[in-house]
Chains A and B, each alone.
Chain A
Amino acid sequence: MRDIPGRLGLEPSYLLAALAAMAALAFIMSLSVGPSGIGIDAAGEARTLIFYEIRLPRAVLGTLVGGALGLSGAALQGYLRNPLAEPSLVGVSGGAALGAVLAIHLGLSHLLALALPIGGLAGAAVAMLAVVALAGAHGGPVTLILAGLAVSSIATALISLALNLSQNPFASVEMVLWMMGSLADRSLTQLWISAPFILLGCALLLTVARALNALTLGEDAASSLGIDLRRTRLAVVAGTALSVGAATAVTGIIGFIGLIVPHMLRPLAQYRPGLLLPASLLGGAAMLLVADVALRIVQPWVELRIGVLTALIGAPFFVWLVLKTRAELAP
């Protein structure tokens, strides 16, 4: 079966190769810029330390987290057949942040470093299941967003409660840290503990490509094509929880990447959810890396948080999407 190429459609392999090249370029840029002005070609001991212990973890985390957010956004939109689905909007990121905050403030991450990503993915899984249960299997876009808003609000309230109760004198600053994520000054340790979970989650999400293609025809048709719907649901929920949960546990909530990237790439991916998955993985990585490079180049008097930048770009996009969805849903 060969698809009719869309207006902007590209040969899938070309599309993926182009996105991979963009991500690779952004990765190299991410290694090359920083407040010290030391370039990728500099020599010396300080440069080695800065390179391997500061910029490399940041660039690799940016790739993994951006990829996880883009991919999970595409998977959620495909599986829920809902253009507004996205990890931070449906409350999965909020749940992950809550799980991570609990792991830290109950002292679990102090006993076992892996408790941090595990807390994040557990929180993400609970949030994801809660949203699916609240919105129902056949809820429309609006129901899903409302359910996501409810879950997000609960997560936010519980995070502030946990920070308040911890008698942490920095509670309000730390709240900002979780709400507006950051890739700054992360160490290799944080990379090692989160990377396996993120990669496993992404691998799981990529397995549902065929199922998502079939699902565009509806659930009954997909079942008749031999798609195991229960397995697909499990892979989407577990894959999102693993990847977004572990990512959020080390960076805080970075919003809108999972919304913007799949929407930008959908026409290029010929509206095929299956192809959109790897495309959004690469596109998400490229976008987050570019955003992270941009905020290090455009340095005002303080370093901007990456979550602030993605929200500044993403929120207007979300508004546009709401208007578009409303027009489509209008009787």
Chain B
Amino acid sequence: MPRRIVSLDLCTDQLLIELVAPNRIAAVTHLAADPAVSAIPDKARGIPITRGNAEDVLRYDPDLVLAGPFGVSATVDLLRRLGHNVVVVPLAQDLNGVRASVRAVAGAVGASARGEALIAELDRRLLAAVPPAGTAPTAVIYQIGGTVSGPGSLADAALAAAGLRNMSVAYRPARGGQVPLELLIAKPPDLLVLASNADEYRTALADNLRHPLIRQLRQRGASIELPWRYWLCGTPHIADAIERLAQARAGIKARRQ
């Protein structure tokens, strides 16, 4: 059973922290303790932080390295050539992907029972959020720079699980991408989901969130803020996002009646 585990990806950080005792974790990324993107910043506090390059990882003499599919392939190759055990956990793009990620990490760290317990808890919460029959209200996850979450993303799966129809398809045939504000105003969704609030990022890229029309749209129709930490990673905490969305969906129904 590995006892000096290093994680190189925000998503594997969180899965690892949920699955094993802290004394078996050698290091995680700095993002794990960042409340903007991590669902469990408090649990991550106190765990050593790795910069993520091979030399830094070797300092911890890990017996298992967990990595995500993006941005670290050179590091992963190098660590493997040096004889380290590296497990690359695929990105979860739907709820089955979340279950698979949990099982992949749980299997690698020897915590299969704990993994199955997390999945059972996730399934219980998903069942509670299952929408009543009837037409699903439409929703859009509108982000910095005017991008929206499209079909095939974890966020899209979360909308569906909460009984909402992702309207991004109506704006753009392509997956993801940017939606001009004009289209959002011409065909507003029943629920506007904002991934961050207007003041969170002081960058020119977030100007779209500060546009007066977004404020107006929020005053007129239903909207919620669903911070990234809830849905950026495919961990069992995706249930937090789904519960919030389901609550907002119920609110729309109530408002209509």
Using a CB–CB cutoff of 8 Å, the interface residues on chain A facing chain B are: 34-36, 38, 46, 49-50, 53-55, 100-101, 104-105, 107, 109-110, 166, 168-170, 173-174, 177-178, 184-190, 252, 301-303
B interface majority secondary structure: helix
> Do B178 and A54 touch (CB < 8 A)?
no
The contact string, 1 if C-beta is below 8 Å from chain A, for chain B 168-188, is: 000011100110111101111
> Do A177 and B185 touch (CB < 8 A)?
no
State the Cβ distance, B60 to closest chain A Cβ, in Å: 24
> Do B205 and A302 touch (CB < 8 A)?
no
> Do A174 and B203 touch (CB < 8 A)?
yes
Pick from A53, A168, A186, A301: contact of B201, CB under 8 Å: A168
> Do A50 and B203 touch (CB < 8 A)?
no
> Do A302 and B201 touch (CB < 8 A)?
no
Interface check B212, CB cutoff 8 A: yes
B205-250 contacts to A (CB < 8 Å): 205, 207-208, 210-213, 216
> Do A104 and B186 touch (CB < 8 A)?
no
Pick from A166, A168, A185, A302: contact of B211, CB under 8 Å: A185
28 chain-A/chain-B pairs, Cβ below 8 angstroms:
A34-B182, A36-B187, A38-B186, A49-B213, A49-B216, A50-B186, A54-B185, A54-B213, A100-B204, A104-B204, A107-B202, A109-B202, A110-B202, A166-B203, A168-B201, A170-B145, A170-B203, A174-B203, A174-B204, A178-B204, A185-B146, A185-B180, A185-B181, A186-B207, A187-B210, A187-B211, A301-B173, A303-B180
State the Cβ distance, A177 to closest chain B Cβ, in Å: 6
State the Cβ distance, B254 to closest chain A Cβ, in Å: 24
> Do B205 and A170 touch (CB < 8 A)?
yes
> Do A301 and B172 touch (CB < 8 A)?
yes
Which residue of A is nearest B145, CB measured? A173
Interface check B144, CB cutoff 8 A: yes
State the Cβ distance, B235 to closest chain A Cβ, in Å: 19
- Separation of A176 and B177 alpha carbons in the complex (Å): 15
Q: Which residues of A contact B205 (CB under 8 A)?
A: 170, 173-174, 177
